[in-house]
Structure 1
Amino acid sequence: MVSFQVVLAGLNIFYKLTVSDGMDLRVLVAYRYLFATAFLTPLAYFIERSKRTKLTWRVLVLSFMCGLTGGMVAQNLYIAGMKLTSTTFASATTNLLPAVTFVLAVAFRYERLAIGSLSGQAKVAGTFLGVGGAMLLTFYKGPDITPWRSRVNLAAALAQRAAAAGAAGSHPPPPAPAAPNFAMGSLLCVSSCFFAALWLIIQAKLSKEYRFHYSSTALMCAMTTLQSAAFALFFDRDAAQWRLGLNIRLLAVVYSGVLASGVMLVVLAWCVRRRGPLFVSVFNPLMLLVVAVLSSLLLGEELHLGTALGAVLIVMGLYAVLWGKGHEPAAATEAAKVADQPTVEEEDKRIEVPIAANSI
Structure 2
Amino acid sequence: MSVKERGIFLYKDVLPFAAMVMVECMQVGGNTLFKSASAQQINSYVFTFYIFLIGFIILLPCFIIFYRRTSIPPVEFSIICKIFMLSVLVYMSQIFGYIGLKYSSPTLSSIMSNLSPAFTFILAYFFRMETVHLRSYTTQAKIIGTIVSISGAIIATFYSGPSVLSNSITMNWIVGGILLASQYFLLSLAMVAQAKILLVYAVDIMLVFIFGICGLFVAGVGGLVMARDLDAWKLKPDIILVTILYMGFSSGFVNVVIQMWALRLKGPVYVSMFKPLTIVIALVMGVLFLGDSLHLGSVVGGSIITIGFYGVVWGKAKEEGQVSTQTTDPLLEPHDDALEQGSFISS
Q: What's the TM-score, normalizing by structure 2?
A: 0.70
- Please tell me whether the aligned partners of residues 104 and 197 of structure 1 are also in contact (alpha carbons under 8 angstroms): yes
- Consecutive unaligned residues in structure 2, runs of 5 or more: 1-19, 339-347
Deviations 1:33-62 (A, max 9, x none): 100011112123324655663333243223
- Please tell me whether the aligned partners of residues 68 and 227 of structure 1 are also in contact (alpha carbons under 8 angstroms): yes
RMSD: 4.1
Q: 1:236 to 1:69 in 2, by over 3 A?
A: same
Indicate the residue corresponding to 2:11 in structure 1. Answer: none
The one of the two structures with greater contact order (alpha-carbon pairs below 8 A, sep at least 6) is: 1
When structure 1 is superposed on structure 2, of 311-320 and 235-244 the one drifting more is 311-320
- Please tell me whether the aligned partners of residues 269 and 313 of structure 2 are also in contact (alpha carbons under 8 angstroms): no
Find out whether 1:56 has 2:76 as its counterpart. Answer: yes
Equivalent AA in structure 2 for residue 35 of structure 1: I
Indicate the residue corresponding to 1:25 in structure 2. Answer: 44
State how 1:135-174 maps to structure 2 within 5 Å. Answer: 136=155, 139-140=159-160, 142=162, 144=164
**Equivalent pairs, count:** 308
Find out whether 1:103 has 2:96 as its counterpart. Answer: no
- Please tell me whether the aligned partners of residues 66 and 199 of structure 1 are also in contact (alpha carbons under 8 angstroms): yes
Query: Percent identity among equivalent residues?
Result: 28
Find out whether 1:217 has 2:224 as its counterpart. Answer: no
Indicate the residue corresponding to 2:285 in structure 1. Answer: 294
- Please tell me whether the aligned partners of residues 203 and 269 of structure 1 are also in contact (alpha carbons under 8 angstroms): no
Distance 2:198 2:268 in 1: 11
* TM-superposed deviation, 1:5: 4.3
Indicate the residue corresponding to 1:353 in structure 2. Answer: none
Q: 1:322 to 1:94 in 2, by over 3 A?
A: closer
Distance 1:39 1:333 in 2: 40
Q: 1:42 to 1:105 in 2, by over 3 A?
A: same
SS at match of 1:111: coil
Indicate the residue corresponding to 1:319 in structure 2. Answer: 310
- Please tell me whether the aligned partners of residues 118 and 145 of structure 2 are also in contact (alpha carbons under 8 angstroms): no
Which of 178, 195, 199 aligns to 1:204? It is 195
* TM-superposed deviation, 1:124: 2.1
Equivalent AA in structure 2 for residue 76 of structure 1: I
* TM-superposed deviation, 1:74: 1.9
Equivalent AA in structure 2 for residue 8 of structure 1: Q
Q: What's the TM-score, normalizing by structure 1?
A: 0.68
Which of 319, 323, 327 aligns to 1:330? It is 323
- Please tell me whether the aligned partners of residues 23 and 249 of structure 1 are also in contact (alpha carbons under 8 angstroms): yes
Find out whether 1:65 has 2:56 as its counterpart. Answer: no
* TM-superposed deviation, 1:10: 2.2
Q: 1:229 to 1:277 in 2, by over 3 A?
A: farther
Indicate the residue corresponding to 2:228 in structure 1. Answer: 237
Indicate the residue corresponding to 2:131 in structure 1. Answer: 112
Q: 1:37 to 1:272 in 2, by over 3 A?
A: same
- Consecutive unaligned residues in structure 1, runs of 5 or more: 147-178, 343-360
Distance 2:194 2:266 in 1: 12
* TM-superposed deviation, 1:203: 1.5
Q: 1:237 to 1:109 in 2, by over 3 A?
A: same
Indicate the residue corresponding to 2:241 in structure 1. Answer: 250
* TM-superposed deviation, 1:120: 1.1
Equivalent AA in structure 2 for residue 66 of structure 1: L
Q: 1:300 to 1:336 in 2, by over 3 A?
A: closer
State how 1:248-287 maps to structure 2 within 5 Å. Answer: 248-266=239-257, 286-287=277-278
Distance 2:296 2:61 in 1: 47
Q: 1:104 to 1:275 in 2, by over 3 A?
A: farther
Indicate the residue corresponding to 1:44 in structure 2. Answer: 63
- Please tell me whether the aligned partners of residues 133 and 309 of structure 1 are also in contact (alpha carbons under 8 angstroms): yes
* TM-superposed deviation, 1:198: 1.6
Indicate the residue corresponding to 2:345 in structure 1. Answer: none
Q: 1:238 to 1:334 in 2, by over 3 A?
A: closer
